[in-house]
Amino acid sequence: MNEIDRLQLLAELTREFCELNHGPNVRREDFPATDYIVMPFGYAENEMTEVAAREMVVPVCYDCATALLGNEWTLLYCFECCSSQWICRRFAKNSYQHHILWLRGCPHCTHEFGGLYFNDFKAVTDGVGFLREHMGIMAA
């Protein structure tokens, strides 16, 4: 993502609402966005060249951003239909280690699970990347 796209996203942030699941019968307008999750999806051609095929940009509210940075919740996010579901790690049957699991297909958009999507960027850590963090890195 180039600098102009980042600045445009930040300028539009005041008109955005959180796109993550807050439960049934909840209006999106009740949760104004405070930041964006930015996840580059791509591959490494070699040790020096990484190619971002696309970047997933998801507006999030303060509460969701805080939950993503903590260790109590894991977010399942389908990048095919943009649906999401929160899992409380304490009550989960599985032992979740990641903050976000990116799904390719889910029960909302298909009857066939396409698997988890990973990329092999060395620059991407296990943590959650927010747009404001990227802006701080670019300024440094």
Q: In the structure, what pLDDT confidence band is assigned to residue 60 with cuts at 50, 70 and 90?
A: very high
Is it the case that residue 132 has pLDDT exceeding 90? Answer: no
Mean pLDDT of 22-37: 89
3-state secondary structure 73-140: EEEEEECCCCCEEEEECCCCCCCCCCCEEEECCCCCCCCCCCCECCCCCCCCCCCCCEHHHHHHHHHC
- pTM of the predicted model as reported, rounded to 2 decimal places: 0.74
Q: In the structure, what pLDDT confidence band is assigned to residue 40 with cuts at 50, 70 and 90?
A: confident
Tell me, what's the pLDDT at 52? 63
Mean pLDDT (the chain) is 78
Tell me, what's the pLDDT at 123? 47
Q: Could you tell me the CA-to-CA distances from 28 to 55, 76, 85, 119 in Å, in that order?
A: 23, 18, 15, 30
Tell me, what's the pLDDT at 134? 45
Query: By the 8 A CB rule, do 61 and 124 touch?
Result: no
Is it the case that residue 31 has pLDDT exceeding 90? Answer: yes
% of the chain residues with pLDDT over 70: 76
Query: By the 8 A CB rule, do 35 and 65 touch?
Result: yes
